[in-house]
Amino acid sequence: MVYNLMVRKQKLRPIVLAGGSGKRLWPLSTKERPKQFINFFGEYSLFDLTLQRLNKASLFKKPIIVTSVNYLGYVEDSIARTGIDPEKIILEPLSKNTFPAISLAVITALIKNKNESFIVTPSDHYISRNKEFHNSCLIARDNLKNEGLNLFGVKPDSASTEFGYITPSSSNKNINKISAFIEKPNSKKAKVLFNLKEVLWNAGIFIFKGSWFIEACKSIDKKILDEINSLKPEEYPTSLCFLPNKNKFKNLSDLSFDKAFVEKNKTNYVTTLEAGWSDLGSWAALSNLQRTLTKEMKLFPDGAYYKEERPWGYFETLMETEESKVKLLCVLPNHRLSLQKHKYRSETWYVIRGEAKVTKGNERFSMLTGDSIIIRENEEHRLENLSNETLEIIEIQTGTYFGEDDIIRIQDSYGRADLH
């Protein structure tokens, strides 16, 4: 009884992961300015919202932030903007994936308090309902009496290959043991898993006791834990920022937390997170959130939008750099673009709404929301909308020239012989 009361009063030490580069959303998210630091929400970024979500003194302690040494300026700006002071900022000299980031933060924190318990969370995910998030945190925290790793699961809405899949042992409780965990399956396996009734996506949020985690790491692979221990400071750092030895850090194994630990751990639990979660890891997810939030979010906060009408619908230019150009194509029902090719650019299409019929070379196939395709330079292609709803495509052009006159038109339904 006394132990249960202690658990209920225990506060969690957040570990906020902010070192990723958001490669799937290039060129909006870049290595120089990844998506967690883009001000999508007025003056606020996803990183800002993460800090604010963890600013609940009855449940959380001050956060430990793990980020790249190159992103310290963004972190400092966020601290000033939100007024939320971190416990510590660990600066990674280079990227080494999530297992080193999490384990180094845990080991460093345990120098100060060997009884620390943690919540690990990405900083580039969106959660719309903080109250429900806090309720899920309480459920997982109260399960710390059962030593193990507590995961947050989200009900999937597609057979995505971008997430780990969790199978709970039951669906009758707030929190359940996990009977199977599969990290980012291939497309065929994802379709099988998606059709299972109780399956959940792994949201990448974890709650656990620090002392338990260290012992579990020793039993799973003591060698990789020893690698992290070699970076541990001799004493708890007195300064706000801790920069590990670069040469030692370079030699760390590049391992994801899911692969190195979650898949191999014998005692995993899951609680379902129903708080409007999205990892915003795709153009479709980002566009859907903007459509839902309307005025609250802008997909390209620094973009110079301009719209051009075409017989098949219209396009908006959202962003243009020397290396790329990003457009939103809106194709009206039962309309199609010309069969064409480009001399100086390639294009990547991301379907964000509707169903596209695509011609690519000698192939002709359908693409649904979330699908993508690359069209190479000088490759014949066509985009069609055979459905009764508007088709929306994010088109990313890369090459040496992005003018509308770089179109070699082969066939056209509208009698045009000039521009796109």
More confident residue, 405 or 356: 356
Percent of the chain with pLDDT strictly greater than 90: 52
More confident residue, 300 or 219: 219
Question: DSSP string of 38-104?
Answer: S--BTTB-HHHHHHHHT--TTTB-PPEEEEEGGGHHHHHHHHHHH-PPPSEEEEESS---HHHHHHH
Residues 366-417 pLDDT 10s: 998 888 999 999 999 999 999 999 999 999 999 998 888 888 899 888 887 6
Distance of alpha carbon 207 from alpha carbon 209, whole angstroms: 7
More confident residue, 42 or 103: 103
Residues 305-322 pLDDT 10s: 788 999 999 998 888 888
Distance of alpha carbon 412 from alpha carbon 104, whole angstroms: 59
Is-contact 164 181, C-beta < 8 A? yes
Tell me, what's the pLDDT at 98? Answer: 92
Mean pLDDT of 347-363: 93
For the chain, report the end-to-end CA distance as a whole number of angstroms.
Answer: 72
Percent of the chain with pLDDT strictly greater than 70: 96
pTM, to two decimals: 0.87
Tell me, what's the pLDDT at 337? Answer: 93
Tell me, what's the pLDDT at 2? Answer: 45
Q: Which CATH number fits domain 303-411: 3.40.1790.10, 2.40.30.270, 3.40.50.300, 2.60.120.10?
A: 2.60.120.10
Q: Nearest-CA neighbor of 156 among 190, 122, 206?
A: 190
> Per the structure block, which two tokens stand in for 170?
């039951």
Residues belonging to the chain: 420
- Domain over 2-293 is classified CATH 3.90.550.10: yes
Which residues lie across from 67 on neighbouring strands?
18, 91
Domain boundaries, the chain: 2-293, 303-411
> Per the structure block, which two tokens stand in for 194?
């998606």
